Amino acid sequence: MRVSRIATDLQSDDPQALAGFYQGLLGLDIVMDQGFVVTLQGAETGPVQLTVLSGGGSGAPAPALSVEVDDLDAVIARMADMGVEAEYGPVTEPWGVRRLFVRDPEGTLVNILTHSRDGAGRNTERA
């Protein structure tokens, strides 16, 4: 057996509005809209990954959703344009990620991160 995709499902009374938030914040494309369910996807699909955690690290609460981006500053600019404030960060963590936490309009805590890289483009994240 091969798992081809793990997707996060967020419950909402207004799927289009919540999808619009993530579309605006992360530049995702709507790939399916059935009214009761809206699926968003980036230009490139990422790896299949499931994270299990007891907290958010650095004393932060556990997020419900983690989104890795290649340019956290672009997300910060989008947040400013949208009038959205970070609940935590942006901060560079000791384990090699730069991140911030934001709450979506439904109250879901979202960890948006980028991996720190050294001058040669190598990932400096610690295992």
CATH code of residue 26: 3.10.180.10
Range of the domain at 30: 15-44+53-115
Is there a contact between 22 and 67 (Cβ–Cβ < 8 Å)?
no
β partners of residue 117: 123
Is there a contact between 96 and 115 (Cβ–Cβ < 8 Å)?
yes
The answer as to whether 81 is a domain residue is: yes
The answer as to whether 31 is a domain residue is: yes
The answer as to whether 9 is a domain residue is: no
What does the alpha-carbon distance between residue 12 and residue 103 come to, in Å, rounded to a whole number?
Answer: 14
pTM confidence score = 0.81
Strands 65-68 and 88-92 come out as unpaired
What does the alpha-carbon distance between residue 77 and residue 79 come to, in Å, rounded to a whole number?
Answer: 5
Q: How many folded domains does the chain comprise?
A: 1
34-86 pLDDT, tens digit per residue, is: 999 999 988 776 777 778 888 999 999 999 999 999 999 999 999 999 999 99
